[in-house]
Structures are given as structure tokens and as C-alpha cells.
Structure 1
Amino acid sequence: MTTVVLLVISNIFMTLAWYGHLKFPQMTIVAAVFVGWGIALIEYSFAVPANRIGYASGMTGGQLKITQEVITLAVFAVFAVVVLKEPIGWRYVGAFACLMGAAAFMFAGRP
């Protein structure tokens, strides 16, 4: 559970770093890069412990990665609706369903 919570926090910061600048089109690209790097440093401070804790608790690298991807899409969907004012359409739902299928494969049985 600690791994998932840390990955959620990490992905909130990652989404802000990668897409937050879209709300500020007047910002120069150089400024957007440096602001993004600053936010990404915070993101990294949560992602690394999340992955180390998850791996130490028995998750494989593949399981950690697919967990992160599912969380990433869920966090981005909320960001898209709340910040970018984009609707969640069938493509988001389909992509999420495909990721859940991929997650099911990664967690089926133990390696």
C-alpha cells in the first residue's frame, strides 16, 4: 500500500511537471523546462522510494511499471478534466481498460 500511495503522489507531481505548463502559454519554453525540472525533482523523491519499497516487498520490476502506468493514466484523467477542461471520452476508458488488462497479466501468478 505504501508503494501505491507514493506512486500516486509521484504521479501528481509528474503530471504537473509534464503538463502543467500548458495552462501558461505565455511562459517561455526555457522557463517551462526549468520549472518542470524543479517539479520533477519532487516527483523523483517519491518515485524512487516507491519503487524500492515495492521491489523489496516482492513486486517485480514489470509489476511496478504497470502499476505506475495505471496510476499515471488515472491521475492524468483527473488532471485533464479539472485543469485542462478536457472531457473523458471513450478513448480514455478504452486505454484504461487495456492497462487494467495488462496489469492483470503482470499480476497473474507469481514469476
Structure 2
Amino acid sequence: MTLPIPVATIGLLLLLSNVFMTVAWYGHLKFKTAPLVTVIFISWGIAFFEYLAQVPANRIGHGHFSAAQLKTIQEVISLSVFAIFSWVYLDEKLGWQHGVGFSLICLGAWFIFHDFS
């Protein structure tokens, strides 16, 4: 059984890649005493798994989605994953201004997916 292209692209691969990306980019912030070179190499190792999901997701999704739509999907997923990660893992509070800012980005995404011509 093969998954529909949007499910494979968005639900599995882009979501999975963004979890790895967020951990690679921000996970080290709890380990400020670790040597910078160490966290860089660990982040690169984690980012490898991001690419194992991101590249196939874009390859599978392109054609069904335009490149601009793929990037927009990735950014919205990235912000969503990041918001949860920063709240749960970094224990950072998100305020109303974050909600407004994220909503405006989602509004921009809505425009990317609509053809007004």
C-alpha cells in the first residue's frame, strides 16, 4: 500500500525532518557548558537524519506541490514543531505576540496555496 503524496510528504517526511532539525538547531541550548565544537558535531549528526527525511519528502512532493508550496509547508511545520519544542523542552513561555506572529505567517502560507488569477 502506498500513501497518498500529500500524506507521505507532509505527514511523515516533512514533520519528521522538522523534529530532527529543531533538535539539531536548538537542543544544545540546555547544554551551555558543553564545548561549542562538541555541540556542533552532535548537531551535524542529528541534522543528517533531518536530510534523510527532508530530501525524499521534497522529491516525493514536487510535482504535486510546487517548490514554493513545499517550502511554505516546511516553514509552517517548522514553526509548529519549534513552538512545541521551545515550550516543552526549553520551558519557554509563548505569549500572545507569538500567536499573532505565527498566525500572520500562516496567513501568508494561505496566499501561497491560492491562485487568484
Q: TM-score, normalised by structure 1?
A: 0.94
Q: Deviations over 1:6-44 (max 9, x none)?
A: 111100000000000001111110001000000000001
Q: Structure 1: which 4+ aligned runs deviate by more than 3 Å?
A: none
1:92 equivalent to 2:98? Answer yes
1:2 equivalent to 2:8? Answer yes
Q: Deviations over 1:69-111 (max 9, x none)?
A: 0000000000011110001112221121111111111100389
1:70-85 alignment runs, 5 A limit: 70-85=76-91
Change (3 A) 1:68 1:27: same
In the alignment, which residue of structure 1 is the partner of 2:40?
Answer: 33
Rounded to whole Å, the distance in 2 between the matches of 1:92 and 1:66 is 18
Rounded to whole Å, the distance in 1 between the matches of 2:68 and 2:8 is 18
Out of 18, 25, 28, the position equivalent to 1:18 is 25
In the alignment, which residue of structure 2 is the partner of 1:102?
Answer: 108
Change (3 A) 1:88 1:49: same
Identity of aligned residues (%): 47
Answer yes or no: is the 8 Å Cα contact 1:51–1:64 preserved in 2: yes
Out of 46, 59, 66, the position equivalent to 2:65 is 59
